[in-house]
Amino acid sequence: MKSILRLLKLIILLFTTNCVVAQTDSTAIDTVTANTVDISQYKEKLVMLEQQRIADSIKKAGLEAQLKSLQSTDNVKKEELQRQLDELNSREQQRIASKKAKIEALRSTAKGYPVTGFFNDTLFTLYSKLGSFSAKDRAKAISERIAVLGESYNFVADSIVIVDAETTVDLIKGESIIMSICENDALWNDTTKEVLALDYKQKISDAVVHYKHETSFVTLAKEIGLAVLVLIILLVIIRYSNKLFKWTALKIEEQEGKRITGITIKNYNLFDAKRQIRVLLIINTLVKWLVILILVYIALPIVFGIFPWTQHFAEALFSYILTPVKKIAFGFWDYLPNLITIIVIVFVFRYVLKFARFLKNEIKDGSLHINGFYKDWANPTYQIIRVLIIAFMIVVIFPYLPGSDSPIFKGVSVFLGFLFTFGSMGSLSNVIAGLVLTYMRLFKINDRVKIGEVVGDVIEKSLLVTRVRTIKNEIISIPNSTVMSSHTINYSSDTVDNKGLILYTTVTLGYDVPWKDVHEALLQAADRTALLLKEPKPFVLQTSLDDFYVSYQINAYTKEANKQAVIYSNLHQNIQDCCNEAGIEILSPHYRAARDGNMTTIPANYLDKDYKAPPFNINFDKKV
């Protein structure tokens, strides 16, 4: 009869605690992210496990009651009941193992709620619900109960006792329950309810005892005195720091004209002595205030750290500096392999560039000859190869740069590339034209050229422009794209290795001057002109027979293409002198059609010896 009553009592107890236990088993479900586990399936699994536990508990209680009611001689029935009990125990162990596995799956993503002590410090963390209390509500309620313990004057560590309840282990102080520890709490901490209760009891007792010690009159007096001492030391250090920087300011002013005489870079006076003194005094003041701020920043965490209520302020102030420093240090340490890789890549490409520069110098000096490759191509080709090598090096290094895989870094790179591409379209055509001009070898530095209507000496060739100095000492910059689209005459190209440049000028004389005399006078004028070559010999061309005169063109060779203006001036002077000496009048006569009585314009040596000018005839009209 007693066994039946106990069984009925157990059934009623199980049904009354059904909601409590069912809610308890849903440990930290609300805190799991959808990407880690399927929450709905997990809840269904917990419900099934709980239903199985209740059914097994009822059956186990019935079996234990039947086992006790049997006669000692009924061994077969006892063995059967014992076997069923063993199966239930095994099923209970499997249920606990299954629940523990589910909790382990949630451990990395579940959110816990801290139970805090008196100084905002975390004593332990809760993950599971209990009854109608969520994990957050439980943590808040337990923290408030612990705060009440701190107000108890007669508190001792042994005043908290551990009591076993039906499904939980409770921590009790007097008649108040501080907290209840359920099966899920133990599973979250990978221990048993009893061991976890001992651990929580110790942490709560230590927190209360520490709080009472820290808030005692003696401790507070010591902490206040220590804080005052720190402030006094801070004021003393600041005072002597001010004296130190005043002394350094006086020393700086005393050095004016002695050690401090100003800063001069070549011929430019960057700072005179007074200005340098002023800058040094400003730096001295900035350093002083920086030192004072550092001292105050160090003293504040020390003062805050003395009192337990403000220790978190001290930790926060120190973290403002330590956290970035640690982040930089660890970031540098993590980046060190990539940095070494970049150094190795730069080292290799540096020697590749050195080898390319060596080949360039060898070709430029003529030590290395490559068929079809001219010396003046060496430097521009090296510059092109250098740009390509550096660009390839940047491409290789790019993946190892910090933040190279970030969207911002990629966006900025694309934006800069966009600006460079569309902003340099005009310049790009000039660059391409400059490269083409280099390999076309149209001209080189110091060549006398004519580009369009511009005549002068080339003084600079770049990828963008060609600069020409005219004979009037004017410097004209011509875009390379314009050079490509214009006709170019190079006067100096054949003046070194070949015969030279032919300079020519034209003189027009009347038909009455014998052409042989003109040829002789012009050749003599060319012979007298300095900078004109004797060999090959100058020559005269009669370029046209016009209505009133003959055009005579004197041609002569020269190696000095850059001195054409002087040569032409001297040649014209000599032509005048030689024609005057030969009795040749330099003019182009115009004739009218009236021939009666006029001497023929044919030279005398071409006429007969008895030639006479025809008479001048006049006819009169008799009617007048």
**Signed CA dihedral, 241, 244, 248, 253: sign only:** positive
Whether 429-490 and 494-624 share one fold: the answer is: no
More confident residue, 157 or 397: 397
Q: How far apart are CA 279 and CA 257, in angstroms?
A: 15
Sheet strand arrangement including 488-490: 475-479, 465-469, 454-461, 448-451, 488-490
Q: What is the mean pLDDT of residues 522-532?
A: 93
Amino acid residing at 139: A
Amino acid letter for position 245: F
Nearest alpha carbon to residue 264 among 276, 254, 253: 276
CB 578 within 8 A of CB 528: yes
DSSP 505: E
Query: What span, in angstroms and rounded, lies between the C-alpha atoms of 86 and 69?
Result: 18
**Cα–Cα dist 19/50, whole Å:** 10
8 Å CB contact between 13 and 54: no
Cβ contact 483:467 at 8 Å: no
How far apart, in whole angstroms, are the C-alpha atoms of residue 356 and residue 392? 15
Q: pLDDT by residue (tens digit) across 278-311?
A: 888 999 999 999 999 888 888 888 888 787 777 7
Handedness of CA 327, 333, 338, 342 (dihedral sign): positive
Residues 151-178, mean pLDDT to the nearest whole number: 82
Helix H or strand E segment including 1: none
Q: Which of the 8 DSSP states describes residue 621?
A: -
Strand order in the sheet with 176-181: 160-164, 169-173, 176-181
Label residue 540 exposed, middle or buried (CB < 10 Å: 0-12, 13-18, 19+): buried
**How does residue 55 score in pLDDT terms, banded at 50, 70 and 90?**
low
Residue 615 DSSP SS3: coil
Residue listed under structure tokens 């199980």:
14
How big is the chain, counted in residues? Answer: 624
pLDDT, position 592: 56
How far is C-alpha 505 from the chain's CA centre? 64
Pairing of strands 488-490, 169-173: unpaired
CATH assignment of 429-490, among 3.30.70.1350, 2.30.30.60, 1.10.760.10, 3.50.50.60:
2.30.30.60
Residue 444 Cα distances to 47, 475, 500, angstroms: 93, 16, 17
Whether 14 shows a pLDDT value over 50: the answer reads: no
449 with 456: CB under 8 angstroms?
Answer: yes
What's residue 343's pLDDT?
Answer: 93
Identify the bridge partners of residue 115 per DSSP, sorted by sequence position.
124
The tokens describing 2, both together, are 């007693």
574 and 526 in contact (C-beta within 8 Å)?
Answer: yes
Tell me the CA distances in angstroms from 335 to 168, 290, 327, 347, one per residue in order. Answer: 51, 31, 12, 18
Q: Which of 238, 231, 284 is nearest to 260 (CA)?
A: 284
Which amino acid appears at position 153 of this protein? Y
DSSP string of 393-410, one letter each residue: HHHHHGGGSTTTTSHHHH
Give the 3-state secondary structure percentages of the chain, helix then strand then coil, rounded to 5: 60, 15, 25
Q: pLDDT digits over 220-232, tens only?
A: 788 888 889 989 9
Tokens representing 404 are 């190279």
**What is the pLDDT at residue 57?**
63
What's the CA gap between 225 and 227, in Å, rounded?
5
Q: Which residue shows structure tokens 């150094």? A: 343
Tens digits of residue pLDDT in 490-514: 888 767 667 788 999 999 998 888 9
Total Cβ atoms within 10 A of residue 491: 19
pLDDT digits (tens, 9 = 90+) for 100-142: 777 777 777 778 889 988 777 888 999 888 877 888 888 889 9
Smallest CA-to-CA distance from 54 within 22, 100, 6 is with 22
Residues 6+ apart with CB under 8 A from 529: 556, 567, 570, 571, 574
For 111, the 3-state DSSP assignment is coil
pLDDT at 10: 35
The DSSP H or E segment spanning 543 is strand 539-545
Q: Give me the mean pLDDT over the 43-57 stretch.
A: 59
Calpha distance 388→416 (Å, rounded) = 19
pLDDT above 90 for 366:
no
Residue spans of the domains in the chain: they are: 2-106, 113-215, 227-306, 342-413, 429-490, 494-624
Greatest mean pLDDT among 33-37, 98-102, 125-129, 471-475: 471-475
Could you report the per-residue pLDDT of 73-107, keeping only the tens digit for each?
Answer: 566 666 666 677 777 777 777 777 777 777 777 77
Class of domain 494-624: alpha beta
- pLDDT tens by residue, 305-321: 787 777 777 777 777 77
Tokens at 316, concatenated:
């926060």
Mean pLDDT value across the chain: 78
Number of H helices, E strands in the chain: 16, 15
pLDDT value at position 568? 94
